[in-house]
Structure formats: C-alpha cells, structure tokens
Amino acid sequence: MQTQEEFIYFPEKQLFGFGSGERLFLYNSADFSIMQEFIDAHAGKYIFTCLSYDLKNAIEDLTSEHADTVVFPLVVLWVPGYVVDISTFSFLQGEETTENRSVAIGFYEKIISEESFECKNTIHFEPRISRETYINLVNKVKQEIQLGNCYELNYCQEFYAQQVTSLDTFSLFRTMYRQIKAPFSVYMQLEDWSVMCFSPERYIQKVGSRLLSQPIKGTIRRGKDIEEDAQLKETLLADKKELSENVMITDLVRNDFSRIAKKGSVEVLHLCELQTFETLHHLVSTIVCEIDPSVTLERILQASFPMGSMTGAPKVRVMQLIEKYEAFRRGLYAGSIGVIFPNGDFDFNVIIRSLLYNKEKEIVSCSVGSAITMKSDPEKEYEECFVKVQKILQFFG
C-alpha cells in the first residue's frame, strides 16, 4: 500500500478521504465568518470538519486556562483531494486514476487485515488527578448544585501517557473498532495528530431542512447472556437518576434548537429510548426541528455547540464551572468530528471514548466523564469513569 500521511476514515459511512487539498486551521481564536467563507467557497465538495470543545470561547464569554496536552487546532476544515466510498471503490471527489485506485484498494486491504494490534513497548497511563482529588471535586460540584448554580454537570478527567515514541495508531483503531463497533467512530491522521474515536453518539445531523440531535444519557454494560442482558436493560430503564439526566439534556437541546428552528417545529421524537450497542446499552433521546434554508452552519453551531450531553445545564454556567473544577483542557475531546456533504447536509459526532495522539509531543490522551447530579455518589462516579477508560486502555496491556 502506498503510505498516506494524512487521511480520514468513517467506518460506518465507508468514507475514505486522502490526498492534499484545501484546508483551514484555526488555533487560538475562531472567526465564524472565516469558517463560513471557507465552507461557501467549497460548496459542492466533501468538507471534513473538526471542532474542539474550546470553540465555546468564540460563542460565549468564556476562557480555557488549563494546560493543553494534545494541542489540536481549535477548528479544522479539510477538503481532501480524493474521497472514496471504500465499499465500492467509487470516487466521490477527485479524479480516479490507476495510482489513486491502488491507494484505495491498498487501504481496503489494510482495513480487512486480520492482524491485531500489539503494544510493542510499555505504555503507562496516569490519571491527571488522583481518586481522592476527583471525589473531593465532585463533592464541590454537588455543592454548586445544592446552591442552585446548576442542575447537572458533565465532569471529566484525563488519563495520559508520555514519551510514546512509536504507535501504530491505525492498527490500534482497527483492532478496537472490531470489538466496539460504535456507530460514530472515526480515524483521522493529520500532520502530527492521530485521532482514534469510538463514539456511540451523534451531536447533530442536517438532512434537507431538518436538524436532528441524539444526546446520550444513561449507560449500562451488556450482559454475559440473554437473561442477564434483559435484566440490565430493565435496570437502566428503571434508573431514576439516569432518566432524569437524559430528560434535562433533552430539554437543553430543545431550547438550543428553538433559537434557530421554524416556529413550532421543535419535537422530541424519542425520549429515553433504550438502544443496544456492541458493548453497552444506552438511553438515547432524539430531538428534531425544521430550519429555514437561510440558516447557515455558523448559526447552527452558535446555537447548539458544545453539545449539552458534554456540558450540563444551564449550559453557560456549567461551562464556567467545568473550567473551575476540571484539571485539564478538553481540546478536541468533547468536541466533534464530522462531514459536510456536497449538497450542504452534514453529520457530526460527539468525541468521546477516544484516544488522541500527538506524535511530536509523544503523548497519548484518553479522557472520560460522567454526569453529576445531586443523586451522584462520587465514588461510584469514579468507578464508572475507570470502567469506561479501562475498556479502551486494556489494548495497551
């Protein structure tokens, strides 16, 4: 296979983008007018899009002061020279040549390779904060809730490994994806960054005049057999804390959509619907609305980003508290990766359950979080985070 230094791959959409092309990188500040100009200038093309959580600072009067370990750009808009439907080797963007078709076939052969990832060097992950510190900070968040400063806050922590000089990131992604099979997974290799995302959650989708968001709140593991699996489903559907979290975030998304929707069009299609994934059961709500053709992506992001499932409610206040109590800069984590299609439709995920690798800085970051409410037990929340991160880090031995 011809080596592709930069490429992006969406397994569920079977989209493979590669080759040099126009791109926009924004680092320290985001100008939405510049972003919209780039999108308009490349109308009719596939535009792969990365939005870091800290884009919030360009939407609200907020800051991010914590150290940034991965140092991923604030915004990336990328129009690869070639986009291929890897299931049929159809070139959707860029001219098909013998060489480019060979690249696509070679990449497909790499996808179906049965070789599993092997961690050749010892990679030790450390938590950014200790268990004791985590429990103390979550208790402080609960105090904020008791004082009426917020209702729910998605509190996150980072696990990281340093001096990682060599990592076969795509082999790792392929091995993990086969076990997790999350519907909004994506792999991206761009300059010094590798993104391995196994997200089950959709942030926002546009199809014609319809917007759709599907926040997840409520999680339980799969059972070891059919009987246990059924019992765990019932347990999740009866969990008042999980149901309450989901309802609060659904209401937040409804409010976000109402800022840009046609009057009376915001609707909750499904509330706390139980959906089963490869390794977990989730409660997923589906909110839709209709928008006018004049509503741009710029306006949609300003109304709805970051996604409520990764902040809490009320959104602006909890983002201030997140900055106060978390010990790392989220960066790309809790942001979004997606694609803008040639017809102007788009589909963006929520970046969770992910590994972010900066080859130059030799660091791998894996962040994890959970929703904190008055009913939260800090020790159980920590254990939940540890279980989530363990499912990813187990691949390192």
Distance CA 98, CA 201 (A): 37
Q: How close are the terminal C-alpha atoms of the chain, in Å?
A: 28
Q: How far apart are CA 34 and CA 112, in angstroms?
A: 39
Q: Which residues pair with 85 in a beta bridge?
A: 15, 90
Single out the catalytic residue among 201, 242, 245, 323: 201
Peptide bond into 314 cis (omega under 30): yes
Task: Count the neighbouring beta carbons within 10 Å of the beta carbon of residue 4.
Answer: 18
- Are 174 and 113 a contacting pair, CB within 8 Å? yes
How many other CB atoms are there within 10 angstroms of residue 264's CB atom? 9
Q: Are 117 and 64 in contact (CB under 8 A)?
A: no
Catalytic pick from 45, 142, 206, 217?
Answer: 217
324 counts as catalytic: no
Residue 210 CB coordination number (10 Å)? 13
Nearest to 79 by CA among 34, 49, 58: 49
The yes-or-no answer on residue 361 being catalytic is: no
CA angle 355, 183, 201 (to 5 degrees): 70
> Mind telling me the catalytic residues?
201, 217
